[in-house]
Amino acid sequence: MQELELKIGWLYPTLMSTYGDRGNVITIQRRCQWRDIPVTIIPLDAQTEAETFYQVDIIVGGGAQDRQQEIVMRDLQGKKAAAMKEQLSAGIPGVFTCGSPQLLGHYYEPAFGQRIEGLGLLDLVSKHPGPNAKRCIGNVVFEITASPLAEEIKAMTGEKPLVIGFENHGGRTYLQTVSPLGKVITGYGNNGEDGYEGAFYHNAIATYAHGPLLPKNPFLADWLIQKALEQKYQKPIFLTKLDDSLALKARFAMFERLELTGVTNKA
């Protein structure tokens, strides 16, 4: 039998890992290792050549403050942006948090200074309403509605595809033609107005929910791993089940705390 292995590309680890975003990388790594699938973590940053972007099987990007985000957005423009666009458009999966989706859109207007051009990969724009505007901070719960992700997660878990996360952002994101990732049940989501959370493009998940996203929602981690391996080996992949009882208990405790046990009914 062919040995499987996975290469995680981690976008700008030192500039973009606020609020526990590193947790997403660790979760993918550990869930592979528990299944005896070796993992290599490859930083994708200012020292990396654009060619390296083609060598990874999955891309993880975290959040950043506006200043760091500007440095990253400038460094990515050109060959690296083209490589990332090509990879994600070909179906390489990714999970992009907070500042990362902002930089995958057309532009981000920070609280201070000039508009920063994004990669234009996701048809969305992000704007900070100014230094006096309230930040969007707190627990967020949303139901995944993006297709086919929602159906695939339902088939995998037998449950409604509910995601629990934590958000902390000043910028507000407005989707144009790209699909939302989900519908907000509690929290702000993309902008606190239209009820949408995140965006979904091919196999890339963009969300305001920070780095505990994958530990709190292990089915999303498995979906990403499965897609990455299927894309890499071009064959169906069946992952062995792991014991997620602790994560499920934590999810239930959060639903209780947020008085949302009523929405967790079976799909």
Nearer of residues 38 and 130 to ligand GLN, judged by Cβ:
130
Q: Which residues pair with 207 in a beta bridge?
A: 97
Distance set, CA 105 to CA 5, 17, 102, 126, 198 (Å):
31, 19, 5, 7, 11
Distance between CA 218 and CA 203 in Å, rounded? 17
Measured in whole angstroms, the distance separating CA 156 from the mean position of its chain's CA atoms is: 19
Q: Which one of 32, 98, 128, 169 is the catalytic residue?
A: 98
CB of 16 to ligand GLN, least distance (A): 8
Nearer to ligand GLN, 62 or 180 (CB): 62
Least Å distance between CB 154 and ligand GLN? 29
Q: Residues 166, 138: contact at Cβ < 8 Å?
A: yes
Q: Which H/E stretch holds residue 212?
A: none
CB-based closest residue to ligand GLN: 63
- Residues lying near ligand GLN in the complex (CB under 6 A) are found at 18, 63-66, 69, 98-99, 102, 128, 168-171
Closer CB to ligand GLN, residue 37 or residue 124? Answer: 124
257 annotated as a binding-site residue: no
Q: Phi first, then psi: give them for residue 74, nearest 5 degrees.
A: -70, -40
User: Is 169 considered catalytic here?
Assistant: no
Give the span between the Cα atoms of 156 and 154, in whole angstroms.
5
Q: Which of 32, 128, 169, 210 is catalytic?
A: 210
Q: How far is the CB of 37 from ligand GLN (least distance, A)?
A: 29
Q: How far is the CB of 79 from ligand GLN (least distance, A)?
A: 24
What does the alpha-carbon distance between residue 165 and residue 158 come to, in Å, rounded to a whole number?
Answer: 20
210: annotated active-site residue: yes
Cβ burial of 83 (10 Å; 0-12, 13-18, 19+) is: buried
Q: Which is nearer to ligand GLN, 139 or 226 (CB)?
A: 139
Annotated binding-site members for substrate: 135
Annotated binding-site members: 135
**Looking at the annotation, which residues are catalytic?**
98, 210
